[in-house]
Amino acid sequence: MATLLGDDRYTFHLDWYDEQAGIIRKYFLYYLNVTNTIEMYDVKNQRIFLKRMEIPGLALDDLFVGAKVTILSRSMKVTDYGDVRTKHHFEANRTCTFA
């Protein structure tokens, strides 16, 4: 099962502006496409921030560089892809429209 999850996991860099502390907190978001669940890792504290869970209303299509997503009432911005595999997947499926 670990191989299946590893093959279908996408990684993103997220920023969350903590208004109380006045700082930007950085996280890794792991999206597991097989189970439609996410897991978050706190970069500064080097620990799991959010254990694997399903977030209603959040889909893989909502995650791209520049997107704002709401996770547990926190508005977070996707700043970058977390690995090469995720980057290749999303850039290959991205379409450009010029008007």
Nearest to 80 by CA among 90, 71, 92, 95: 90
| Residue 22: partners with Cβ closer than 8 Å, 6 or more residues away | none
What are the tens digits of pLDDT across the range 23-62?
A: 999 999 999 988 999 999 999 999 999 999 999 889 988 9
Whole-prediction pTM: 0.82
CATH architecture of the domain with residue range 2-93? Roll (2.30)
CB-CB contact of 39 with 32 (8 Å): yes
Domain ranges of the chain: 2-93
